[in-house]
Structure 1
């Protein structure tokens, strides 16, 4: 892995009135995680902010972006249980230009809403044929593509009866270290989206919309999988909303 040393770029400042406040008591875990001191403004970006990993030589497995196949082995030759979906989209920078050969990673719960993680105590069972993680590189026009299972919603202890909508976590590096984005894709039409305490930290419906994957019947595979398009904008005024951490 090498460094992309294009220093002739500029970044548009994030609109912090659009993104959620770090301290949002309705989302309880934001309380201990929010900064206790004012943010520091960096007027001139450093070299470390303007450079980033160059992934074109990263060795990828044949099924890294296919979660139906990438957890199979000789002892577990079956397919995952659940609704098969395609998740795809385009990664662009703050000026609408595609970001080629950048790393997109994703992780998710299985169809029952259970993560393959030792601290996940939800009563839904694990799927022996589903790992829940994937990665790919964008092509020359910024497109990425995954095949997976639609994750299930699950309860979490933010309130007495609080549920997370079905969602897929996404990490994308973008053209430099400072453009790395971690967000979530929700599924269009899910009634749990507007009542999720994390989503409610946003006060702008347009910002919420940046996190929703839109059903795309033209890209769906007949008798196989529905497709959802989820475009990602890294950095700048129109950046996709990132997780409140």
Structure 2
């Protein structure tokens, strides 16, 4: 191998920093309509810090680390029967900011049951606990970044923000990506839910397109007749950093 080719290969394998997040799309930290943000929001300006090697590399996962039913939340907690509720499939593609599929990335999901109650000792909502539903699962994306899991459609639930506040039905998702800097924790909502437009948490998001990206449309083409409906939810992670603006990290 020539020295020139070796240098090119070395550069292509060297991890680069990631795109700075577009903060115009994300909700501001201080949003009084979401009451708990008042006490949790930072009081000082954010700092732009150069990413370290430990942040632009990350954990590696493989199928040997997953159980055979980890992706099937309808059955992975069964205590003599399957989970009760509308059976659904959630699927989509994990992509970087350039639109390239992110392979072998861990997708973790957790949610309330069909009645809107979490399996958590501090959840005091009156809806009953489903003995056959644990409310969590995980899967790995394939070579092209595609993922899927089975579950039941969660129910909405009340919460103490203002009088008669209700959260829309949603599924929490954690995606690791190929590095710690790419880890994303988000919520997936369902097309047609009337609670989306009045949810104080969603209303903190200033960008309409960003809100739409959190809403999964129903996908009848991927549904299983007489069994499960499908919802398609694509997820975009941070990609390799663009060219530096005047050599300043904060310029991206």
Pick aligned residue for 2:231 from 228, 232, 237: 228
Aligned residue number for residue 98 of structure 1: 101
Corresponding pairs, count: 228
Q: Distance in 1 between matches of 2:151 and 2:88?
A: 5
Structure 1 ranges of 4+ moved more than 4 A: none
Aligned residue number for residue 144 of structure 2: 141
Deviations 1:67-118 (A, max 9, x none): 111002xxx2111111000001100011111110110000000000000001
Aligned residue number for residue 22 of structure 1: 29
Pick aligned residue for 1:127 from 120, 127, 130: 130
Paired residues for 1:95-244 under 5 Å: 95-235=98-238
Deviation, 1:235, is 1.9
The answer to whether the Cα contact below 8 Å between 1:7 and 1:47 also exists between their aligned partners in 2 is: no
Deviations 1:161-194 (A, max 9, x none): 1000000000001121001000000000101001
The answer to whether the Cα contact below 8 Å between 1:103 and 1:137 also exists between their aligned partners in 2 is: yes
Does residue 81 in structure 1 map to residue 84 in structure 2? yes
Does residue 63 in structure 1 map to residue 63 in structure 2? no
Aligned residue number for residue 52 of structure 2: 46
Shifted more, 6-15 versus 174-183: the winner is: 6-15
Unpaired stretches in structure 1, ≥5 consecutive residues: 1-5, 238-245
Shifted more, 6-15 versus 24-33: the winner is: 6-15
**TM-score in terms of structure 1 length:** 0.90
The answer to whether the Cα contact below 8 Å between 2:92 and 2:233 also exists between their aligned partners in 1 is: yes
**TM-score in terms of structure 2 length:** 0.88
The CA RMSD measured in Å over matched residues stands at 1.3
Deviations 1:31-73 (A, max 9, x none): 111112221111x32111111001126511000000111002x
The answer to whether the Cα contact below 8 Å between 2:94 and 2:101 also exists between their aligned partners in 1 is: yes
Does residue 11 in structure 1 map to residue 25 in structure 2? no
Residue 218 of structure 1 aligns to a residue in which SS? Answer: helix
Larger radius of gyration: 2
